[in-house]
Structure 1
Amino acid sequence: MKTCTILGTEIAVTTMEETVRYIEEHMEELRGKYICVSNVHTTVTAYEDESYRKVQNGAAFALPDGKPLSLYSKKHGFPEAERVTGPDLMGELFARDNGLTHYFYGGSEATIGTLREKLPKEYPHLKIAGMVSPPYRPLTKEEDAAQVEAMNASGADIIWIGLGAPKQERYMFEHQGLTQGVMVGVGAGFDYYAGTIRRAPMWMQKLSLEWLYRLMQDPKRLFKRYFVTNFKFLRLTLGRGKKSRGEKKS
C-alpha cells in the first residue's frame, strides 16, 4: 500500500473501498498485526515522540482518519488519496456479509452493553465473537494474558480496540504477534455506535471541522488535543513543498 510521509509518519494513500477490499483479501497476512487510524493529534504526537512514531510506523498501515492528512497527501503528489475514518470503516465492515467475525475490546461497561444490544439489530449479518470492557487500571500480566487468550479462543478475525489514542496504539504494538486476528484502533468508534457521542454533521466532516464538533461536546478534555495540536500541525506542515512518496513494507 502506497504511503505519504507526514511529519515522519507513513500515512496510507487509499480509499475506503480499497481499504475494505484489502482487509478482506489479505486477512491471513494481517493476522497478528495491527492497523492504526491516524489523525492530526496522533501525527503531531508521533512527530514529537519517537517511541510513538515507531508505534505508528510499525503498523500494517496507518489510515488517514483526519481529513487534513488526506488533503496533505493530495497536495504532495497523491491526488487519489481519500479520508478513511475509523467509524466509517467499522460500518462498512459491519454491513458486509463476508463471514468475518468481530471482537470488541475497550469502552465502558455501559457502552459495551449498548453495543451488544444495538449492533445485532442494525447489522443482522454481523458476527460478534466477543465484547469486553477492560478495567481502566493497568492489567497484571496474568490478566492481560487471559484477555489475549479470550480473544484468540473466540476465533475473531478483526479485533476492534477502543482504548483511545495513544493508549490503543501502544497496546496494539505491544500485543502484535500475540493475537490471531488483526487489531484495529478506533478511538471513540465504540461510543459513536453506542450513541454516547454524536458524530459531526456531514457538512462539518467535509470541511475538516469534525474536531470542532467534538471539541464543543467536551471542551475541557479535548481543548489541548484538538485546538493546540491542529494549529501545531498547520505550523509544522506549512511550507513543506517536497513530495513524499514511498511504499509500506509488507
Structure 2
Amino acid sequence: MSKEFPLIKVLNVPFINTTQAAFLTTVEARINQRQNTFIVTANPEIVMYARTDSNYQHILENADYITPDGIGILKGAEILGEPMTERITGYDTMLALLKWGNEQHKSVYLVGAKPEVITDVKAVVTARYPDLNVVGTHDGYFDDFAPIANDIANTHPDMVFLAVGFPKQEQLIADYRHQNNGLWMGVGGSFDVLSGHTKRAPKFFQQHHLEWFYRLITEPTRLKRMMVLPRYLKTVKESAHHQK
C-alpha cells in the first residue's frame, strides 16, 4: 500500500483519504514513470466479501490504493469517527484517466463485459478520445487470462482497465500485474455505462448520493446485492462500539 495519502480503515480495509484531484495527480505521475500501480475501488459489497475471504483480503492489502467507491464507505468512516474527504468512484476515475490519456497520447488496454458491449466501448473510446491509443480489447468471456496477459505484456499499455466484476478482476490483476508496468484497475460494470448499454443515474440522484436507489428502481434484480448495505452498516456500528 503506497504511503502518499492518510489511510482510514473501514472493517480492516485501508482506504485512502484524499480528493479525487489529488489522487489523479499521483496516479498520472506514476503512469508517466511506468510504475506498476494496482487500484481497487471498493464499495461495501467488496468490504463485506473480504471479511469472509482471507485470500481476497490479502489481495486488497497488496493493492497500491483502495479508494472509497460509494457513499456507504463514507458513511462507515463517519460512524467510526474518521470522516473522509470525498468518494472516489471507479467510473469517474476511469473517465478522468481516459481524458488525461488522450491529452498525453497514452495507450490503454480494455478487458471485460459482453462481446457487444466491449465492441461499443472501443467505438466510444476511439471517437471520444482520438489521441488515446487502444492497443487491445477483449470481452469478459475467457477461460484463461494468460493469453490476454501475454498480449498486454507485448503491447505494453500505460493503463489496463479490467471490467469482469469482483473478486475475479482483483484476483487476475494480483496474478498478472507483473507482466506490465503500468496502471491496473478493476472497473466492474463501468464498460456497460461507458458504452451506453446501462444508463448512469441522473445528476439529481448522484448529487444526493442516491445512485443506489436509482439502480434499484431501474434494476430490481439488484435487491439481493443491495441487502449487503444494512448488514455492512450494522457491522461497522458494532466495530465502532468495540473500539470505544
What is the SS of the residue equivalent to 1:177? helix
User: 1:82 offset after TM fit, Å?
Assistant: 0.9
Rounded Cα–Cα distance in structure 1 between residues aligned with 2:217 and 2:62: 33
Alpha-carbon distance in 1 for matches of 2:30, 2:181:
14
Q: What's the offset of the Cα at 1:77?
A: 5.5
Equivalent position to 2:128, from 122, 125, 146: 122
Q: Which runs of 4+ in 1 moved over 4 A?
A: 74-80
Once the two structures are TM-superposed, the CA of residue 241 in structure 1 deviates from its matched residue by: 3.8
The equivalent of 1:247 in structure 2 is: none
Q: Please state if 1:229 is matched with 2:235.
A: no
Count the aligned residue pairs. 236
Shift of 1:10: 0.9
- What's the counterpart of residue 237 of structure 2? 238
* Residues in 2 aligned to 1:167 and 1:190: alpha-carbon distance in whole angstroms: 16
Aligned to 2:35: 30
Deviates more, 1:10-19 or 1:211-220: 211-220
CA separation of 1:99/1:51 partners in 2, compared to 1, >3 Å: closer, same or farther? same
User: Is the CA contact (8 Å cut-off) linking 1:9 and 1:43 kept in structure 2?
Assistant: yes
Counterpart position of 1:55? 59
Q: Which runs of 5+ in 2 are unaligned?
A: none
TM-score by length of 2: 0.87
For the aligned residue pairs, the C-alpha RMSD in angstroms reads: 2.2
Unaligned runs of 5+ in 1: 245-250
CA 1:155–1:178: 2 relative to 1, 3 Å:
closer
Structure 2 residue 84 is matched with structure 1 residue 88: no
Aligned residue for 1:81, secondary structure, equals coil
Question: Measured at CA, do residues 208 and 47 of structure 1 come closer, stay the same or move farther in structure 2, by a change above 3 Å?
Answer: farther
Q: Is the 8 A contact 2:76 2:233 kept in 1?
A: no
Give the whole-Å Cα distance in 2 for the aligned partners of 1:58 and 1:156: 22
- Partner of 1:30, secondary structure, is coil
| Higher RCO structure (Cα 8 Å, ≥6 apart) | 1
Instruction: Determine if the alignment matches structure 1 residue 19 to structure 2 residue 20.
Output: no
Q: Give secondary structure in 1 for the equivalent of 2:86.
A: coil
In the other structure, the counterpart of 1:248 is: none
Offset from partner CA, 1:101-126 (integer Å, 9 cap, x none): 21101111101111121222222333
Residue 162 of structure 1 aligns with an amino acid whose one-letter code is A
**TM-score, normalising length: structure 1:** 0.85
2:48 maps to amino acid: V
> Can you list the C-alpha shifts for 1:17-41, whole angstroms capped at 9, x where unaligned?
012111111223632x421111011
8 Å contact from structure 1 (residues 9, 47) kept in 2: no
Residues of 2 paired with 1:234 and 1:208: CA distance? 16
Cα shift readout 1:111-165 (whole Å, capped 9, x = no counterpart): 11111212222223333222111425x32xxxx3321121122220110000011
Q: CA deviation at 1:9?
A: 0.8
Equivalent residue letter for 2:235: L
SS in 2 for 1:173: helix
Q: 1:124 to 1:77 in 2, by over 3 A?
A: farther
Residue aligning to 2:156: 155
Distance in 2 between residues matched to 1:36 and 1:240, nearest whole Å: 23
**CA 1:208–1:95: 2 relative to 1, 3 Å:** same
Task: Tell me how far 1:98 sits from its aligned partner.
Answer: 2.5
- Offset of residue 231 of structure 1: 0.8
Q: Which moved more, 1:20-29 or 1:38-47?
A: 20-29
**Residues 186 and 202 of structure 1: CA distance in aligned 2, closer, same or farther (over 3 Å):** same
2:131 partner SS: coil
Separation in structure 2 between the aligned mates of residue 153 and residue 108 of structure 1, nearest angstrom: 24
Does 2:100 match 1:101? no
